[in-house]
Amino acid sequence: MNQSANTKLMQLESDFPTILWRTLSTPGHETAKIYGDEGDAWTIDGVSVFLHEGEPVRLDYLIECDANWKTSYVTVNGWVGDEVVDVEIEVTGGLWIMNGEKVAGVERCTDIDLNFSPVTNTIPIRRLDLKTGESKTVRAAWLRFPSFQLEVLEQTYTRVDEVTVKYEAASGFTASLTVNEDGMVTHYPDGWTIETDHP
CA distances from 109 to 3, 73, 105, 183 (A): 45, 13, 9, 20
3-state helix, strand, coil in the chain (%, to 5): 10, 55, 35
H/E segment holding residue 154: strand 150-161
Distances (CA, A) of 189 to 11, 58, 62, 120, 123: 34, 22, 24, 16, 19
Q: How far apart are CA 62 and CA 44, in angstroms?
A: 6
pLDDT at 7: 39
- In the chain, how many domains are there? 1
What pLDDT score does 163 carry?
97
Provide CB contacts within 8 A for 26, sequence distance 6+. 50, 51, 52
Q: What residue numbers bound the domain in which 165 lies?
A: 3-198
Bridge-based pairing of strands 135-143 and 111-114 is parallel
- Please count the CA atoms within 13 angstroms of the CA of 166 that sit on its side-chain side: 15
Q: Tell me the pLDDT of the chain (199 aa) as tens digits.
A: 444 444 333 444 557 999 999 999 999 999 999 999 878 899 999 999 999 999 999 999 999 999 999 999 999 999 999 999 999 999 999 999 999 999 999 999 999 999 999 999 999 999 999 999 999 999 999 999 999 999 999 999 999 999 999 999 999 999 999 999 999 999 999 999 999 765 4
Residues in CB range of 144: below 8 A, 6 or more apart: 115, 150, 151
d(CA 169, CA 153): 7
pLDDT at 198: 59
Backbone angles phi, psi at 35, to 5 degrees: -110, 145
* pTM of structure: 0.90
